């Protein structure tokens, strides 16, 4: 089993566990991966408040995101939207409220327990134009040129093959389609120890890459009109840091040599692709 496969299996195991937890437990940790804080001291470290958005479904909100990509995604009535790493269906259901009865939403997740929970939520709500597919976003179970819009919330940082994912996003989007993705990136090198802790990988930290490299992957996949829609620093509490870092490493983090950031990034697939005879 190669390292990428081991990482995927570890993430799948962690998120299968998370699927059975309630939101309060997940909010007390980094993307829900570790329940590391006291019961009476809950930190909303990365997640943002969805509760005021149209289409919000409390049972689908596990508190696992790091942004509000659906707010920035310019989704229109009748669109086909794909949500990568759809979890219990939170972003998918908000997207469904926007696309209406004439649109369609497809959620993709590689954790069976998440898919089961999302499908149960959709059935309870009576949504017949929202479906959830079990699959790896490095090789999406979707035909090419399907989606008008793709969204994702704090998921690509968990995936070893980020370049593959952006290539798949390009393939699956219709010409002229676009994405809005919220994710975790880094500015500066994180302590080496962080990279070897499985809990921190599942918690969206160890799997994050440099911000410049993340944006470079998007451009290399062929996307245009790239823009950062939102940027927000992420501050991890000391009681989490002390589980993984020595005092001097925490001091280096606090001094700003390493910055963890939540970004929401937008880009479009060109309406005309070179060699396709349309330009």
Global pTM exceeds 0.75: yes
Is 273 among the domain residues?
no
Is 278 among the domain residues?
no
- Note the pLDDT of residue 86: 95
* Structure tokens that stand for 279 in this block: 């330009």
Q: What is the mean pLDDT of each run of 10 residues along the chain (279 residues)?
A: 72 72 54 42 61 84 86 97 96 96 96 94 95 96 98 91 96 98 88 64 70 97 97 82 80 79 96 65
- Note the pLDDT of residue 9: 77
Is 171 among the domain residues?
yes
* Residue in 114, 87, 209, 220 with CA at minimum distance from that of residue 164: 220
* Residue in 8, 13, 14, 155 with CA at minimum distance from that of residue 90: 155
Confirm if 266 and 180 have CB atoms less than 8 A apart: yes
d(CA 251, CA 105): 45
- Note the pLDDT of residue 33: 46
Is 142 among the domain residues?
yes
- Note the pLDDT of residue 41: 35
DSSP secondary structure letters along 40-79: T-----S----TTSTT--GGG--S--SS-HHHHS---TT-
d(CA 129, CA 194): 41
Q: Which residue is associated with the tokens 């309870």?
A: 124
d(CA 142, CA 127): 20
User: Which residues sit opposite 71 in a β-bridge?
Assistant: none
* Structure tokens that stand for 138 in this block: 């490095």
- Note the pLDDT of residue 2: 66
Task: Give the CATH number of the domain where residue 73 resides.
Answer: 3.40.50.150
Residue 227 burial (C-beta neighbours within 10 Å; 0-12, 13-18, 19+): exposed
- Note the pLDDT of residue 173: 98
Q: Which residue is associated with the tokens 């499908």?
A: 119
Number of continuous H segments (helices) and E segments (strands) in the chain = 10, 7
Q: What is the mean pLDDT of the chain?
A: 84
22-to-19, 39, 179, 255 alpha-carbon distances in Å = 8, 13, 29, 34
- Note the pLDDT of residue 254: 80
User: Which residues sit opposite 227 in a β-bridge?
Assistant: 266
Would you mind telling me the total number of residues written for the chain in this entry?
Answer: 279
Domain region containing 82: 3-268
- Note the pLDDT of residue 19: 65
Give the chain's domain count.
1
């Amino acid at each position: 089993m190669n390292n990428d496969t081991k990482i995927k299996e570890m993430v799948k195991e962690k998120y299968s566990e998370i699927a059975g937890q309630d939101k309060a437990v997940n909010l007390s940790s980094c993307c829900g991966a570790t329940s590391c804080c006291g019961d009476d001291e809950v930190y909303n470290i990365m997640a943002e408040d969805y509760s005021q958005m149209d289409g919000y479904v409390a049972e689908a909100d596990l508190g696992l995101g790091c942004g509000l990509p659906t707010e920035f995604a310019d989704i229109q009535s009748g669109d086909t939207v794909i949500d990568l790493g759809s979890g219990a269906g939170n972003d998918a259901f908000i997207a469904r409220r926007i696309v209406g009865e004439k649109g369609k939403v497809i959620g993709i997740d590689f954790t069976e327990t998440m898919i089961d929970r999302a499908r149960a939520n959709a059935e309870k709500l009576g949504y017949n134009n929202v479906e959830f597919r079990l699959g790896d976003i490095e090789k999406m179970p979707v035909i090419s040129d399907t989606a008008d819009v793709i969204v994702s919330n704090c998921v690509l940082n968990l995936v070893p093959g980020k370049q593959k994912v952006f290539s798949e996003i390009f393939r699956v989007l219709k010409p002229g389609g676009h994405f809005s993705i919220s994710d975790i990136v880094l500015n500066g090198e994180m302590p080496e120890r962080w990279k070897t802790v499985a809990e921190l990988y599942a918690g969206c930290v160890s799997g994050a890459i440099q911000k410049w490299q993340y944006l470079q992957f998007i451009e290399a996949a062929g996307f245009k009109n790239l823009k950062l829609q939102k940027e927000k620093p992420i501050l991890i509490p000391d009681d989490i840091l002390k589980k993984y870092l020595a005092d001097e490493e925490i001091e280096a983090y606090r001094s700003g040599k390493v910055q963890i950031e939540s970004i929401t990034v937008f880009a479009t697939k060109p309406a005309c692709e070179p060699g396709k005879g349309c330009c």
